[in-house]
Chain A
Amino acid sequence: MLRFSIDIGGTFTDVVAETEAGLSSVKVLTTSYAPDQGALDGMDRLLSKLGKSYADISAVIHGTTLATNALIERRGAKTAFVTTAGFRDVLDMRYEKRFAQYDLDIEMPTSLVARPLRLGLEERILADGSVLKAPQDEEIDALAAHIKAKKVEAVAIGFLHAYRNPAHEIYVANRLRQTLGEDVTICQSADVACEIREYERFSTVCANAYVRPLMQRYLGALKAELNRLGFDGSFLMMLSGGGLTTLEQAMRFPIRLVESGPAGGVALAAHVAHEVGSKCTLSLDIGGTTAKICFIREGNPQTTRRFEVARAWRDVKGSGLPVRVPTVELVEIGAGGGSIAAVDTLGRLKIGPHSAGSDPGPAAYGRGGTAATITDAHLSVGNIAAEGFAGGMISLAPDKAPAAISKHVQTQMGLADVETAAAGIIEIADETMANAARVHGVELGLDITAFDLLVTGGGGALHAARIAEKLGISRIIVPQNAGVGSAVGFLRSPVAFESAISVMEPLHTIDATALTHRVSEQVAHVRAIVEEAVPADRVTTTAKIEMRYQGQGLDIVLEYPADDGFKIDVARIEAEFIKRYKSLVGFTLKDIPLDLVSVSVTARETRKLDRHAFTPAAKADASQERQVFDLAAQSQITYQVRERTDLAPQVMQGPTVITEDQTTTLVRPGWSVQTSGEGHLILERGAA
């Protein structure tokens, strides 16, 4: 077996090879002018190290932020939008409300399609799917000629109520195709996001059309080059929703790739959780500028179909372009290693959202950064050591950290010493992250104390213990290979595809037989897509039914296996909805009908678990010690220091610091640590 995964991010490209012997990886700089070059360079290096050739590769799994970056930098195709006459400004009107109540300066994102290329067509379908006005060929042909004259590369079609009846979109697409030929991309809203609410659906189809020519060119070229080099295995793409799909599907719906990197990280977390037998897992990835949280239950990450890309205003929620595609549900917090700590006009200590990034970076990098960052705080209290930071890749100027904290935080707040200020910064950062998890958990109706905390990213293991204490969590998992987590996650992801049907009808008037039939058709459709890459006996299908009380905004999702015996069972659905509603809200409502909002179906490759046995070090080496300032104790505490690679299999008690190239694990007093059979660190609280 030889499988490769490639994760092309904005700065780095990670390439990972997996053989029976295990994983090997390489990190190269992303070659943004020709992203495939960096990837192929990385593959070359690993192949020569393994003594293998492209012909030996059985599968390549790829994820990329290319589509996302094209949206952020507005580098996509020249796109036209054909819509119902009278509604071309829906794209600019958005929700018609301000996403920040007290900020008078906010800006909305500019739409992907310029107003002169937003073209109204006389046609109309009504809310019940009936036709008020059919589109006329003459007008379509005139539009086609206009689009052709404007040298447009992509056309998005979005008509009102197309989620209910896509006939006009299909008809117009076919008719435009006759004039525009195969060179122009044409996308239909009901195809990309078959859901009610015109702005979100139109925004999604425009984003898909906008990035499709670019992604088709790029992916086509990469595949051709791999084939030229001798590769003839399967080529799969990582989706935002956490599954893999075929190249053909990815090229058709490139908008479904936007969050593939983070989805890979979550996939790894889900896999590790499964390995160590964690049923309820809170994954927390702390990087340089942000922290990301995702809830994983029974190995399945929480997913959503509400997502926004390319935020236009200070990364504020609501300022981006909405896309309605399946996405792992990540809560992002503006707190990472480079996040800047400052004291506001009210004397409050605030972390982020501004970040020093990697350039100039934290004050301690000595590259001209003067702001006090979370990394500076860790260095000042002794959580991390200047020697060996980031595997020796970055040399630190340790004196600059306390100086920055003293200037920007300690004196501003009138604190007695710099250690307290530094510990205060970390405490506020921990609090911010814990609180985001707490709030999100409540939204999902989860008891967070029953969860294990799984941390990745450079900062995850530094903050984990304190965050767990704040959340009442008593077990922490620090996986191996967290540094190239997303790419490893691709290798651990199942092939999967999801598709949704908007229903929006009262449960009791639904024609259950007809809907069962529609769902079954949809199940067959997604199953066929997954079976392109996976044998039929390893594909399972599920249906998620979204329900609400009529008129209410609280959607509750009920999940059922969608096998041959699947049918819409109204009584059972109602009973389960009532039960879930009561546990979330505390009471149920009399006499209010239930609406069935939508049904989304997923086909998924059954998870297989290849255990990779881990051999611990034969014996522990001599322990070193380090002084770490503790906020609660208001004094230095002595921590033992161990290299992760030298850990013995026995349980060790905190306070202990475990170091490795990409991160540091802080085992606070009251916690113990042990290496699992797979090589992951397991921290437990209160275990003697």
Chain B
Amino acid sequence: MTDTLDIVARNVLWNRLISVCEEQANALMRAAFGAIVREAGDLSAGVFDANGVMLAQAVTGTPGHVNTMAASVRAMLERVPAETLKPGDALVTNDPWLGAGHVFDFVVVTPAFLNGQIIGYLASTSHIVDIGGRGWSAEGASVYEEGVTFPVLHLRRGTELNEDLLAIVTANSRVPHEARGDILSLLSCNDTGVARLLNLMGEYALPDLVAIADFIFESSASGTKQALARAPEGIYVSMMQLDGYDAPITLKARMTIADGTIAVDLSGSSPAVARGINCPLNYSAAYASFGIRALLTPDIPNNHASLSAITITADPGLVVSAERPSPVSARHVIGQALPDLMLGCLEQALPGDVLAESAGALWTLSLSGAGKTPFSSLNVALGGMGARPGTDGLSTTAFPSGVGSVPVEAAEVAAPVIYHAKEFIRDSGGAGRHRGGLGQRIEIGSRIGEDMFMSAAAFERLTSGPEGRQGGLRGANGKVAISDGTQVTDKGMYKIPAGERVILQTPGGGGFGDPAKRDRDTLQQDVSDGLVSNDAARKLYKGNQ
């Protein structure tokens, strides 16, 4: 082969590698249990080289998994050396500090052998419905209460499944068979990936992945450097205040842009708290770098080189860098706030180019039976996305998470609940030349006239809404109340008595630009659609209504 042919062939190979991961991810998504996992695509899949360095990843992955997995494989190989692995072996862990930040996420790594040598690894991560402990809540005082942790172990040795490990899973999970099925689907999607990878290498007569890895890393590194150069060098500091579990939490970032790299230090953020909204640094780094990459390098595929241009650090023991045994179940409450914090820094570097703040962390809507009938229902309640420099924010759409909601009909089939309303909230989108996305009002009650429990762990931004940019106003803050008059004020467990309803109002996105400069026809359209009130049009937008 000549050099020129190499270039074309390498292009083809790169695409094929990404495609191997896509096939692997599709196989996993189809086999996943639990509506929230399946609808959401709460998973990731990737190919790694013989050193455990990430080469390619499925684009379907959710950011919290995508970026954590890049580090998981090497961390796992430090504990079980590659020399000890045999064909057919597969490793597993759900350690929050090695995997994706809480015990629900399992990572499975499978070596790919060619002629007796490991030429690479396939890895995948997904959210297992229940792994014991307190289940989904922030109530655990330590990670020990949040479920069973598996250190890095063999899930399979050769052809032999580790049935002992699976027996521990089924003995501890409230949904034993689904949990077992989910772990096996990680194994089988990796097997699919290994088979595809070896086919591909056979087709192109590749002895190893070294040359293609070099090509991918070189192209990605130079592309990333070029894209990051768009942001002026300098040091940018940004702060954000969250409600916290029962007392406010400060998040702080100091971003240094220099030499085509971005380094972010989160030191100065609040110390870890006593309840499970703390975030391990791996998950914080995953979301922080997602926020930066979505703005600056959206077209560059995920791999070691494109991710390593961005580094995220923090002093240990903070809410963004919690250490064992801090509780971390609802770590996304902190983690998913970080993209907005990063965008706050980048707004200083690139004023006017950055979207306004969004509703932020997913509001996990976890209901369970508190009466005679046991059940558990998991959904998400989504708020508005921040207004963009060129256009309005998306209403009731997750950002930064890639998760969507479970349809009302599916949720009502799965659990004895009734959704009484699910509608946009007028005036919840932050006013601006471009309006923030709207939040929504959701009302839910029991279908069987029994008490229910609700975890308020993820109901964030109840005290102040997402900030606007460039003169845009804040989006509405969230509100959660029970129809008997109880207000939700912290992230604990609440009881919804029989006959009562919970009323959730999710936050709206921040506005972008001066509201008085909003296009008058668009404003009029918002008013006639009932998305903006006459009052707001007059007072906030200086309209003639």
List residues of chain A with CB under 8 Å of any chain B CB.
85-90, 92-93, 95-98, 101-108, 114-116, 124, 126-127, 132, 160-161, 163, 196-199, 344-349, 413-417, 420, 423-424, 427-428, 431-432, 435, 438-439, 442-443, 504, 549, 551-554, 585-587, 589-592, 631-632, 634
**Separation of A115 and B409 alpha carbons in the complex (Å):** 22
Interface residues of B in 478-493 (CB under 8 A from A): none
Interface residues of B in 261-309 (CB under 8 A from A): 293-295, 298-300
- Of the candidates A89, A97, A126, A585, which one forms a contact with B404 in the assembled complex, judged by CB atoms under 8 Å apart? A97
Residue from the set B40, B62, B529 with the largest chain A CB neighbour count within 10 Å: B529
**CB–CB B33/A634 < 8 A:** no
**CB–CB B38/A98 < 8 A:** no
**CB–CB B5/A554 < 8 A:** no
**CB–CB A87/B408 < 8 A:** yes
- Of the candidates B14, B181, B410, B423, which one forms a contact with A549 in the assembled complex, judged by CB atoms under 8 Å apart? B181
* A104 contacts across to B, CB distance below 8 A: 294-295, 298, 355, 388
In the complex, what residue of chain A is closest to B398 when comparing beta carbons? A97
* B463 contacts across to A, CB distance below 8 A: none
**CB–CB A93/B395 < 8 A:** yes
* B395 contacts across to A, CB distance below 8 A: 92-93
**CB–CB A439/B7 < 8 A:** no
**Given A86-B421, A89-B423, A553-B30 in contact, is the A127-B409 Cβ separation under 8 Å?**
yes
**Separation of A113 and B539 alpha carbons in the complex (Å):** 29
How would residues 167 to 207 of chain B score, 1 for a CB under 8 Å from any chain A CB and 0 otherwise? 00000000011101100110010011000000000000000
**CB–CB B409/A196 < 8 A:** yes
How would residues 404 to 431 of chain B score, 1 for a CB under 8 Å from any chain A CB and 0 otherwise? 1101111011000011111110000000
**Separation of A90 and B421 alpha carbons in the complex (Å):** 10
**CB–CB A93/B396 < 8 A:** yes
**CB–CB B223/A346 < 8 A:** yes
**Separation of A344 and B11 alpha carbons in the complex (Å):** 11
**Separation of A96 and B440 alpha carbons in the complex (Å):** 11
Task: Write the nearest CB–CB distance from A658 to chain B, whole angstroms.
Answer: 26
**CB–CB B397/A439 < 8 A:** no
Interface residues of B in 135-162 (CB under 8 A from A): none
**CB–CB B422/A89 < 8 A:** yes
**Separation of A323 and B176 alpha carbons in the complex (Å):** 36
* B19 contacts across to A, CB distance below 8 A: 435, 438-439
**CB–CB A552/B397 < 8 A:** no
* A132 contacts across to B, CB distance below 8 A: 418
* A415 contacts across to B, CB distance below 8 A: 4, 7
In the complex, what residue of chain B is closest to A591 when comparing beta carbons? B177
**Given A115-B530, A196-B409, A197-B407 in contact, is the A590-B177 Cβ separation under 8 Å?**
yes
**Given A96-B382, A435-B15, A589-B184 in contact, is the A89-B424 Cβ separation under 8 Å?**
yes
**CB–CB B420/A86 < 8 A:** yes
* A197 contacts across to B, CB distance below 8 A: 407, 409-410
**Separation of A222 and B511 alpha carbons in the complex (Å):** 51
**CB–CB A116/B398 < 8 A:** no
Question: Is the C-beta of B391 less than 8 angstroms from some C-beta in chain A?
Answer: yes
**CB–CB A427/B38 < 8 A:** no
**Given A504-B413, A553-B30, A631-B8 in contact, is the A592-B177 Cβ separation under 8 Å?**
yes
* B181 contacts across to A, CB distance below 8 A: 549, 552, 589, 592
**Separation of A586 and B5 alpha carbons in the complex (Å):** 37
Task: Write the nearest CB–CB distance from B185 to chain A, whole angstroms.
Answer: 7
**Separation of A504 and B35 alpha carbons in the complex (Å):** 14
Task: List 15 A-B residue pairs with CB atoms under 8 Å apart, sorted by A's residue number.
Answer: A86-B423, A89-B424, A90-B422, A96-B397, A104-B295, A124-B418, A160-B412, A198-B409, A199-B407, A345-B227, A504-B413, A551-B35, A552-B181, A553-B29, A587-B184
**CB–CB B33/A552 < 8 A:** yes
How would residues 44 to 86 of chain B score, 1 for a CB under 8 Å from any chain A CB and 0 otherwise? 0000000000000001101100000000000000000000000
**Given A101-B402, A428-B8 in contact, is the A552-B298 Cβ separation under 8 Å?**
no
* A347 contacts across to B, CB distance below 8 A: 219, 223
**CB–CB B30/A554 < 8 A:** yes
* A348 contacts across to B, CB distance below 8 A: 11, 14, 219
**Given A115-B529, A551-B34, A551-B178 in contact, is the A420-B398 Cβ separation under 8 Å?**
no
Question: Is the C-beta of B500 less than 8 angstroms from some C-beta in chain A?
Answer: no
On chain B, which size bracket covers the interface?
A: 35 or more
**CB–CB A87/B423 < 8 A:** yes
Question: Is the C-beta of B316 less than 8 angstroms from some C-beta in chain A?
Answer: no
* B421 contacts across to A, CB distance below 8 A: 85-87
Question: Is the C-beta of B2 less than 8 angstroms from some C-beta in chain A?
Answer: yes
**CB–CB A345/B223 < 8 A:** yes
**Separation of A424 and B3 alpha carbons in the complex (Å):** 13
In the complex, what residue of chain A is closest to B14 when comparing beta carbons? A348
Inter-chain pairs besides A96-B397, A199-B407, A347-B219, 5 sampled, C-beta below 8 Å: A114-B529, A161-B409, A349-B8, A420-B8, A427-B8
**CB–CB A105/B391 < 8 A:** yes
Question: Is the C-beta of B95 less than 8 angstroms from some C-beta in chain A?
Answer: no
**Given A105-B390, A161-B412, A552-B38 in contact, is the A96-B398 Cβ separation under 8 Å?**
yes
**Separation of A631 and B7 alpha carbons in the complex (Å):** 12
Question: Is the C-beta of B403 less than 8 angstroms from some C-beta in chain A?
Answer: yes
* B418 contacts across to A, CB distance below 8 A: 124, 126, 132
* B5 contacts across to A, CB distance below 8 A: 420, 631-632, 634
**Separation of A87 and B412 alpha carbons in the complex (Å):** 14
**Separation of A664 and B533 alpha carbons in the complex (Å):** 62
Task: Write the nearest CB–CB distance from A58 to chain B, whole angstroms.
Answer: 46
- Of the candidates A552, A586, A587, A634, which one forms a contact with B32 in the assembled complex, judged by CB atoms under 8 Å apart? A552
* B60 contacts across to A, CB distance below 8 A: 101
* A414 contacts across to B, CB distance below 8 A: 7
**CB–CB A413/B7 < 8 A:** yes
**Separation of A254 and B85 alpha carbons in the complex (Å):** 59
* A553 contacts across to B, CB distance below 8 A: 29-32, 38
**CB–CB B440/A552 < 8 A:** no
Task: Write the nearest CB–CB distance from B416 to chain A, whole angstroms.
Answer: 9
* B59 contacts across to A, CB distance below 8 A: 101
* B380 contacts across to A, CB distance below 8 A: 96
**CB–CB A439/B22 < 8 A:** yes
Question: Is the C-beta of B528 less than 8 angstroms from some C-beta in chain A?
Answer: yes
**Separation of A443 and B418 alpha carbons in the complex (Å):** 35
* A198 contacts across to B, CB distance below 8 A: 407-409
Task: Write the nearest CB–CB distance from A270 to chain B, whole angstroms.
Answer: 26
Question: Is the C-beta of B247 less than 8 angstroms from some C-beta in chain A?
Answer: no
**CB–CB B420/A346 < 8 A:** no
- Of the candidates A108, A115, A124, which one forms a contact with B531 in the assembled complex, judged by CB atoms under 8 Å apart? A115
**Given A86-B420, A435-B15 in contact, is the A634-B2 Cβ separation under 8 Å?**
yes
Residue from the set A103, A104, A420 with the largest chain B CB neighbour count within 10 Å: A104
**Separation of A115 and B530 alpha carbons in the complex (Å):** 8
* A108 contacts across to B, CB distance below 8 A: 394, 397
Per CB-CB distance, the 4 closest pairs between chain A and chain B, nearest first, are A97-B404, A86-B421, A424-B8, A346-B223
**Given A198-B407, A591-B177 in contact, is the A126-B388 Cβ separation under 8 Å?**
no
Residue from the set A98, A346, A591 with the largest chain B CB neighbour count within 10 Å: A346
Question: Is the C-beta of B517 less than 8 angstroms from some C-beta in chain A?
Answer: no
Interface residues of B in 214-231 (CB under 8 A from A): 219-220, 222-223, 226-227
* B8 contacts across to A, CB distance below 8 A: 349, 420, 423-424, 427-428, 631
Task: Write the nearest CB–CB distance from B293 to chain A, whole angstroms.
Answer: 7
* A552 contacts across to B, CB distance below 8 A: 30-33, 38, 181
**Separation of A595 and B371 alpha carbons in the complex (Å):** 27
**Separation of A670 and B404 alpha carbons in the complex (Å):** 50
* B528 contacts across to A, CB distance below 8 A: 116
**Separation of A106 and B29 alpha carbons in the complex (Å):** 24
Task: Write the nearest CB–CB distance from B302 to chain A, whole angstroms.
Answer: 9
**Separation of A328 and B413 alpha carbons in the complex (Å):** 29
**CB–CB B294/A97 < 8 A:** no
**CB–CB A93/B440 < 8 A:** yes
* A551 contacts across to B, CB distance below 8 A: 33-35, 178
**Separation of A93 and B405 alpha carbons in the complex (Å):** 10
* B298 contacts across to A, CB distance below 8 A: 102-104
* B404 contacts across to A, CB distance below 8 A: 95-97
